[in-house]
């Protein structure tokens, strides 16, 4: 008899964690060995017992974020397969996940493939990433109507940075920052930069690195 695949699920939201547990238990291929509310607990778990697959959310309310935890786990145990998940439409995390060796990335709200399908294909050796970025309504437009540079500016705007701070971080001029913000206001129909940033943040359209890692222990 083939050994069952040992799975740990990691999510700080009870509903999402229960959802992951249900998927794992729905297949006779998998054995749920842990359901954890923090990414730091996952880092600790892999040092104490064998794990074959980790399903982990990126954003956490406390401690390490999922990306940072995945990087630590991959450095110490490259044989452990990881599926990172998120309910936001932040696409910059895909590139970071690839860089650290994460096998698969799944958008909870937007991916047409089921989590179980992603699990099966990942454990069989595939790397599953979305073919196209998630799209959603944003004011009068959709996310796909914004350019990559506009998304970069918007990402920093949600972190309450000034035009000067955004310009310095992105290595562009202050006038260029103003230009992109004005373009986004015209496209979306929002009245000012605060409304633009608040709506982007509320929708999970973009998430700054500072917001992703703000709860990590220093």
Could you name the CATH architecture of 137-213?
A: Orthogonal Bundle (1.10)
Res. 99: pLDDT tops 60: yes
Q: Is 28 helix (H, G, I), strand (E, B) or coil?
A: coil
What's residue 1's pLDDT?
Answer: 40
Average pLDDT rounded to a whole number, residues 1-22: 90
Do 93 and 106 contact (CB within 8 A), yes or no?
A: no
Res. 4: pLDDT tops 70: yes
Res. 194: pLDDT tops 90: yes
Closest CA to 40 of 79, 76, 10, 75: 10
Closest CA to 176 of 150, 137, 140: 150
Res. 41: pLDDT tops 50: yes
Band of pLDDT at residue 197, cut at 50, 70 and 90:
very high
**What's the CATH superfamily of 5-123?**
Response regulator (3.40.50.2300)
Segments of the chain assigned to CATH 3.40.50.2300: 5-123
What's residue 218's pLDDT?
Answer: 38
Do 138 and 150 contact (CB within 8 A), yes or no?
A: no
Res. 50: pLDDT tops 80: yes
Distance CA 65, CA 122 (A): 22
What's residue 2's pLDDT?
Answer: 57
Return phi, psi of residue 30, to 5°. -115, 145
- Long-range own/partner contacts, residues 173-178 (CB < 8 A, 24 or more apart): 177/153
pLDDT digits (tens, 9 = 90+) for 119-154: 999 999 999 999 887 888 999 999 999 999 999 999
Segments of the chain assigned to CATH 1.10.10.10: 137-213
Average pLDDT rounded to a whole number, residues 86-97: 93
Residue scoring higher pLDDT (114 or 173)? 173
Distance CA 111, CA 129 (A): 10
* Residues above pLDDT 90, as percent of the chain: 81
Indicate if the alpha-carbon torsion angle 41, 43, 44, 45 is positive or negative. positive
């Amino acid at each position: 008899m083939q050994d069952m695949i040992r799975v740990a699920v990691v999510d700080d939201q009870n509903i999402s964690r229960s959802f992951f547990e249900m998927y794992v238990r729905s297949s006779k291929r998998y054995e749920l060995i842990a359901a954890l509310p923090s990414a730091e607990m996952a880092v600790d778990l892999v040092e104490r017992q064998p794990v074959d697959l980790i399903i982990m959310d990126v954003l956490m309310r406390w401690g390490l974020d999922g990306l940072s935890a995945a990087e630590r786990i991959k450095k110490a145990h490259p044989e452990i397969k990881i599926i990172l998940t998120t309910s936001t439409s932040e696409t910059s995390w895909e590139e970071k996940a690839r860089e650290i060796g994460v096998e698969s990335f799944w958008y909870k709200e937007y991916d047409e493939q089921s989590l179980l399908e992603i699990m099966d294909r990942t454990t069989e050796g595939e790397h599953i990433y979305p073919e196209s970025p998630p799209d959603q309504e944003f004011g009068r437009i959709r996310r796909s109507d914004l350019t990559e540079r506009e998304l970069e500016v918007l990402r920093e705007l949600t972190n309450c940075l000034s035009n000067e701070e955004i310009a310095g971080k992105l290595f562009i001029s202050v006038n260029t920052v103003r230009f992109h913000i004005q373009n986004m206001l015209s496209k979306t129909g929002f009245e000012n930069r605060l409304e633009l940033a608040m709506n982007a943040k509320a929708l999970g359209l973009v998430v700054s690195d500072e917001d992703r890692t703000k709860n990590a222990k220093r």
